[in-house]
Amino acid sequence: MHSGNRRIGTITAIAAVLVLAMIGTSALAAEKEAKIGFAFSMTGGSAAYGDTQKKGAQLALDEVNAKAAPGDIRLLPFFDDDASMPQQGINVFNKFINADKVVLIVGPTLSNTAQATDRIAQQAGVPVLAISNTARGITEIGDYIFRDSLTEMVVIPNTIKVTKQKYGLKKVAILYGNDDAYTKGGYEAFKFALKESGIEVLSEQTFAKGDRDFSPQLTQIKSLNPDAIVCSALVEEASGIVSQARQLGIPTSVPIIGGNGFNSPSFIKNAGQAAENALVGASWFASSTTPLNSHFIEAYTAKYGNLPDQFAAQAYAAVFIVNEALKRAGTTDDRKAVRDALAKIKDFDTVLGKFSFTESRDADHTPVVQVVKGGKFTLLE
């Protein structure tokens, strides 16, 4: 009996040790999971952008976590829909910060939404990495706000400089959305760049988000015979503007020059033949032959059955930037340490090229200009 009791006691002790080991292992694993919030426009007017952002981010998450060795930090994503609306974005950010306890937030999709949401994150001391917010004033919200998307004030001046040289532009007309932070920011960047380049602005026409008929503005523009039409619009309105411009008889020899909002496969799909010869400033080019970009194109296409766009590329790059910051910070939950680590990232290899943050936490890498040829974006040469 005494021997049996000792055996039972020994087994019980071993079981207790195993349970404690399992608890310890679970605790260690939990300590190595970094919660990341992803706020994208999965519905609403900008769902075309949010869809590819989520796909790009998920691809990168799968790759990062697959390569994580025992003891490495793994990324635990929380995806939510900002519905292309500031108020819904606020709800999502509050949930991420207060309920999910994320260490960092990626997004939201639109600058309009970011103007509201990023103030909440800044106040709470939660780092934000914007991946498509290109309007002015985003990083000025505070020192916890970063972006890997080049601003329109970087991309657009380069676009105007290159297109002036290529097409000999002397006079243009401007058409822009006057009720959105992104489109208004693009307009300001275009106007500044045109003035700096000595290009005359013949007319400034506006529209509102959700408009479908642009014929009054385009008819006025056509009567002025500009060398080009400069347009700051999101993808839904951009497609309609380009289509109606060609229907009204504005020839393809008059290029339509767009900003970041044009930079989506949905623009080409929706505008069809009318999209040919449209010029688009961009921060990423699909045909870049760097090993990282070649891998990204191949992996994204294999996983989703179609080519990625700039928004997918910026989301993909963001996950690797976040992972690098977490490794440098050596923490899964110290928000300030992660913020400080982000600020120190310089010359980091990404699909966007060698990537750095400026002192003002904006993206620093080289922009390009694309032209739509044969139903796809090609590099303007």
Token pair in block for residue 271: 């505008």
Cα within 13 Å of Cα(339), Cβ side: 18
Distance CA(67)–CA(75), nearest Å, equals 11
Distance CA(151)–CA(134), nearest Å, equals 4
**pLDDT at position 182:** 87
**pLDDT at position 29:** 43
Point out the least confidently predicted range of 37-41, 259-263, 373-377.
Answer: 259-263
Look at phi and psi of residue 185 and say left if phi exceeds 0, alpha if psi is from -120 to 50, else beta: alpha
Distance CA(356)–CA(144), nearest Å, equals 16
Q: How is the beta sheet containing 363-364 ordered, strand by strand?
A: 348-350, 353-357, 363-364
In the predicted model, what is the mean pLDDT of residues 150-173?
Answer: 95
pTM above 0.85, yes or no: no
Closest by Cα among 297, 280, 279 to 288? 297
Report whether 253 contacts 224 (CB < 8 A).
no
Point out the least confidently predicted range of 4-13, 134-143, 198-207.
Answer: 4-13
Report whether 297 contacts 273 (CB < 8 A).
no
**pLDDT at position 136:** 87
**pLDDT at position 343:** 98
DSSP labels, 306-354: S---HHHHHHHHHHHHHHHHHHHHT-SS-HHHHHHHHHT--SEEETTEE
SS3 214: coil
Task: For 217-262, write each residue's pLDDT tens digit.
Answer: 999 999 999 999 999 999 999 999 999 999 999 999 999 999 888 9
Report whether 202 contacts 173 (CB < 8 A).
yes
Task: For 157-166, write each residue's pLDDT tens digit.
Answer: 999 999 999 9
Task: For 269-278, write each residue's pLDDT tens digit.
Answer: 999 999 999 9
Closest by Cα among 180, 183, 281, 176 to 230? 176
Report whether 257 contacts 167 (CB < 8 A).
no
**pLDDT at position 236:** 92
Domains of the chain, CATH where assigned: 32-150+288-365 (3.40.50.2300), 153-282 (3.40.50.2300)
